Amino acid sequence: MCFECVKISRRKFMSYAAAGAAAAGYWTVGGALSPSFAKTSMSADEALAKLKAGNQKFVSAPQLCAAELTNNRSAVAKGQSPWATILTCADSRVSPELIFGGVGLGELFVCRNAGNVADTAVMGTIEYGAEHLGSPLVVVMGHSRCGAVQAACDVVEKDAKLPGSIKPMVDAIVPAAKAMKGKSGDFVDLSVRENARLNAQKVMAESEIVKELAHGGKLKVVYARYDLDTGAVEFLG
Ligand SMILES: [Zn+2]
């Protein structure tokens, strides 16, 4: 249920370890995280099981999914140890903390943009969450009827012209739509799934930090689709 980690040479391992230590020192000196604040002890599989259980709760009893915030803010004010990183769409209906069962402050490390694209800022954010904060799981999650993916499908199918910065943003999703064009099934939904898969693959393929952690059994990258109608998150791979 995750991308196979890629073996890297010992020489590369040592260079990444050194780079990671230097980066950790810099970040700590920068005050982003208290050195004494423990990372989560949760494994990737445990984090995945917790997300699935939380989403099941959201589907079956959404009225119970408000986070308990009374003491939450003060408990995490001095540091954070998120147990999962979520890359998902900016769509206002896809709030990870809610759809995963009412998760409190300090638990999920979240990156969002239209179309859940792993661009440079997202790649760095995921690396920071994994390497420095110790998040053991990365979930790339698209959703049904995604407007950004719809726009990419329109570019591929109808040569749609998009204004401003929307065009280059959507261009990043076009490869997923091109790959699904002509396949049987709903074009947009197939492209949503393919876009999530491609971006999860990119996280694994292009981040040496992610590769190294995955190789060491400390990180998994999976991808998923959220259904706007049912509230269910389907983990696809
Ligand atoms: Zn969307």
pLDDT tens digits for range 14-64: 444 444 444 443 444 334 444 457 899 999 999 999 999 999 999 999 988
* Span from the CA of 41 to the centroid of ligand 1 (angstroms): 32
Cα(89) to ligand 1 centroid in Å equals: 5
Question: How high is the pLDDT of residue 1?
Answer: 43
- Predicted TM-score (pTM) of this structure: 0.86
- 143 CA to middle of ligand 1, Å? 6
224 Cα–ligand 1 center, Å? 13
- At residue 193, does pLDDT exceed 60? yes
Residue 42 vs residues 107, 124, 135, 193, 237: alpha-carbon distances, Å: 11, 22, 9, 27, 20
Mean pLDDT of 155-175: 97
Spacing, Cα 119 to ligand 1 middle (Å)? 15
CA–centroid distance, residue 15 to ligand 1 (Å): 38
pLDDT of residue 148: 98
Cα–Cα–Cα angle for 169, 172, 174, rounded to 5 degrees: 115
Of the chain, the percentage scoring pLDDT greater than 90 comes to: 80
> Who has greater pLDDT, 79 or 35?
79
How far does residue 120's CA lie from ligand 1's centre (Å)? 19
Per DSSP, the three-state class of 51 is helix
| Mean of pLDDT values over 102-112 | 96
In this prediction, residues 112-122 reach a mean pLDDT of 98
CA of 24 to the centre of ligand 1 (A): 33
Ligand 1 center from residue 67 Cα (angstroms): 24
How far apart are the CA of 98 and the centre of ligand 1, in A? Answer: 16
CA of 35 to the centre of ligand 1 (A): 37
Nearest CA to 208 out of 135, 124, 84, 138 is that of: 124
Percent of the chain with pLDDT over 70: 85
- How confident is the model at residue 136, as a pLDDT? 98
Å from CA of 223 to ligand 1 middle: 15
Tokens 């197939």, located at residue: 190
Ligand 1 centroid–CA 226 distance in Å is: 10
pLDDT of the residue at 125? 98
What domains can be seen in the chain, in order of their start residue?
10-22+38-144+207-235 (3.40.1050.10)
91 CA → ligand 1 middle, Å: 5
pLDDT band for position 3 (50/70/90)? low
Mean confidence (pLDDT) of the chain:
89
**Under a CB-based contact definition with an 8 Å cutoff, are residues 233 and 223 in contact?**
no
8-22, 101-115, 213-227: least confidently modelled range: 8-22
- How many beta carbons lie within 10 A of that of residue 203, not counting itself? 26
